[in-house]
Amino acid sequence: MPASRHGLLLGFAAYAIWGFFPLYWRLLDDATPLEILAHRIVWSVVFVAILLAARRRWQAVRDLTRQPRKLAGVALAAVLIGVNWLTFIYGVSSEQVVEVSLGYFVTPLVAVGLGVVALKERLRATQWVAVGISTLAVVVLTVDYGRLPWIALLLAVSFGLYGLVKKRLALPAAEGLLVESSVLAPVALVYLAVQDGQAFGHGNWTLTALLVVAGPVTAIPLLLFAGAANRIPLTILGVLQYLAPILHLAIGVLAFHEPMPAARLAGFALVWLALAVFSWDGIRATRRSRLATAAA
The rounded mean pLDDT for the chain is 86
pLDDT greater at residue 115 or residue 164: 164
**Which residue, among 186, 191, 181, has the nearest Cα to 214 in the 3D structure?**
181
As a whole number of angstroms, the distance between CA 201 and CA 117 comes to 46
Measured between alpha carbons, how far is residue 237 from residues 3, 227, 229, 244, 268 in Å? 14, 11, 7, 12, 22
pLDDT band at 157, cuts 50/70/90?
Answer: very high
pLDDT tens sequence across 170-226 = 777 788 888 888 999 999 999 988 876 676 766 678 888 999 999 999 989 988 887
How far apart (Å, rounded) are the C-alpha atoms in residues 151 and 105?
13
Residue closest to 249 by CA, chosen among 43, 121, 103: 103
Quickly state the pLDDT bin for 21 (edges 50, 70, 90). very high
Report the predicted TM-score, pTM, of the whole model to 2 decimal places: 0.87
Which tens digit of pLDDT belongs to each residue from 84-95? Answer: 999 999 999 999
Q: What is the pLDDT of residue 202?
A: 66
Task: State yes or no: pLDDT of 265 exceeds 60.
Answer: yes
pLDDT range class, residue 2, cuts 50, 70, 90 = low
pLDDT at 294 over 80: no
Q: Please say if the pLDDT value at position 8 is more than 70.
A: yes
- At residue 258, the pLDDT reads 93
Q: What is the predicted pLDDT for the residue at 199?
A: 66
Q: 256 or 174: which carries more pLDDT confidence?
A: 256
Phi, psi at 258, each rounded to 5°: -75, 145
Give the pLDDT score at 223.
Answer: 86
Range of lowest pLDDT (113-117, 152-156, 275-279):
113-117
Report pLDDT for 266. Answer: 92
Neighbours of 167 (CB within 10 A): 11
The pLDDT of residue 1 is above 60 = no
Q: What would the mean pLDDT of 44-58 be, rounded to a whole number?
A: 87
Confidence (pLDDT) at 201:
64
Q: How confident is the model at residue 168 (pLDDT cuts 50, 70, 90)?
A: confident
Question: What is residue 222's predicted lDDT score, i.e. its pLDDT?
Answer: 86
pLDDT of residue 282: 75
Helices and strands: H and E segment counts in the chain: 13, 0
CA–CA separation, 126 and 274 (whole Å): 10
Most distant CA pair in the chain: distance in Å?
Answer: 68
pLDDT more than 70, % of the chain = 95
Res. 296 pLDDT band, cuts 50 70 90: low
pLDDT band at 3 (very low <50, low <70, confident <90, very high): low
